[in-house]
Amino acid sequence: MQKGQVRKAISGFYYVYVDGQTYQTRGRGNFRVKNMAPLIGDFVDFESDNLTEGVLLDIYPRKNELVRPTVANVDCGVIVMSAIEPDFSSYLVDRFLVYLEANNISPIIYVTKIDLLDETAKADMLEYKTYYESIGYKMILSDYPAGASSLEALVTNIGKGMAVFMGQSGAGKSTLLNQLMPELDLQTGEISTSLGRGRHTTRHVELHPVGDALIADTPGFSTIDLIDIEAVDLPSFFPDFEALRDQCRFGGCMHINEPNCRVKEAVASGEVAPYRYEHYLQFHEEIVGRKPMYIKKNKR
């Protein structure tokens, strides 16, 4: 028996990597009985006498799992945003950041099309970079024309982890993946001028080594919902709020209506970016306003 990682799955076959070799395997029947299915990124036990006839035996507990792309044990989420065409959206950045924090995934913000900005807009983008990096996030601005140094910075910051790409439609996720992995030749989505966003260009998921990193070869998703996040947990997904939590008058402060709230004081003074607090209120309203989901029980 060996332990490896599933890096590709096609037509019921799971391709498991271990010690420089890739084994073609099938899942055991009891996976279906248990309503389990191996995911890309899973660590598994398997047995095989050769490279083409292996059997998966067990799946190790997952650190996390995502639906789009369908992968498990993700270490890093690269949020790809456009500086312009479409315009940079701090709202979308914060929405992705909350999603990644909730799934125990380290974010990297990568901004494309910096070369299209005028000097005033570049200064504004640098302010975003300064703030996000002050609260612990890495934000990389693309360079032009080759993008070599920003790509190198991206791979370096992913490190030895497994990364997925997500972010704004039309921001160039597929283009960025093609730059990192030219052999993919992913189809890039054209910008829809009527909708202001790009077409989705998806394919089956596979993990590819890039430097010391593993990168999922799909552009991922451009929108996310917060369906699995509870309102009481939301403040903990804002590190700039968490740093001040113990200075609030009340334990468990939600930073909305409570008196002597240190976070609200910091927003008023500019210590916490007002747009971050505005997005927090929007997310909170969305979460508390969603309809509860009921599970219909079978009649006996």
The annotation places the binding site at 112-115, 167-175, 248, 253, 255, 261
- The rounded distance, in Å, linking the Cα atoms of 228 and 205 is 24
Tokens of 185: 């030749």
Specify whether the CB–CB gap between 166 and 96 falls below 8 A: yes
Specify whether the CB–CB gap between 103 and 74 falls below 8 A: yes
Dihedral sign, Cα of residue 14, residue 162, residue 89, residue 99: positive
- The rounded distance, in Å, linking the Cα atoms of 284 and 127 is 25
Dihedral sign, Cα of residue 288, residue 72, residue 75, residue 144: negative
Known binding positions for GTP: 112-115, 167-175
Known binding positions for Zn(2+): 248, 253, 255, 261
Task: For residue 246, give the amino acid letter.
Answer: D
